[in-house]
Amino acid sequence: MINDPIADLLTRIRNANMRRHKFVLVPYSKLKEQIIKILLDEGYILDYKIIGDKVSEKNFKIYLKYKGTTRVINGLKRISKPGLRVYKEADKLPEVLNGYGIAIISTSKGIMTSDHAKKAKLGGEIMAYVW
């Protein structure tokens, strides 16, 4: 059993990225799908597919993105953890590497980047940084 599925997702992506794998398999969940969609929309991954028929056998196949031999994802960091939740108001949401990265925020309107949350004037839990 995994205690922190988001940290598991980020770790699997980080490890596969460091080894320059073309794709990585991650167990399925709706929360992870929202995070993966953000990574796809922001251009950090090429694509993803859901494979498997039964719920217990479903996995994401995440295709990692590279520019030649350079990795597109340079870092992933889990911020809010099960033992220490981190919440911020809309006007105090962080900017990652002066705008070169993104912060993934869980708001009352769903999971989104900090830029989208600021425009919607929503605060929430800071889940992760990606750069």
- How open is the CA angle 30-32-34, to the nearest 5 degrees? 75
| Across 80-97, average pLDDT | 96
Say if residue 2's pLDDT is above 90.
no
CATH for 5-71, among 3.20.20.10, 3.40.50.11740, 3.40.50.720, 3.30.1370.30?
Answer: 3.30.1370.30
pLDDT in tens, 97-130: 998 999 999 999 999 999 999 999 999 999 999 9
pLDDT of residue 1: 66
Look at residues 90, 93, 96, 57 and name the one whose alpha carbon lies nearest to residue 73: 96
For CATH 3.30.1490.10, list the domain ranges present in the chain.
76-130
CATH topology classification for 76-130: Dna Ligase; domain 1 (3.30.1490)
| Across 5-9, average pLDDT | 97
Q: Kindly provide the b/e burial profile for residues 41-66, where b requires at least 16 CB atoms within 10 angstroms of the residue's own CB.
A: eeebbeebeeeeeeeeeeebebebbe
| Across 30-40, average pLDDT | 97
For CATH 3.30.1370.30, list the domain ranges present in the chain.
5-71
| Across 78-97, average pLDDT | 96
- With cut-offs at 50, 70 and 90, classify the pLDDT of residue 21: very high
Tally the C-alpha atoms within 13 A of residue 86's C-alpha that lie toward its C-beta.
14
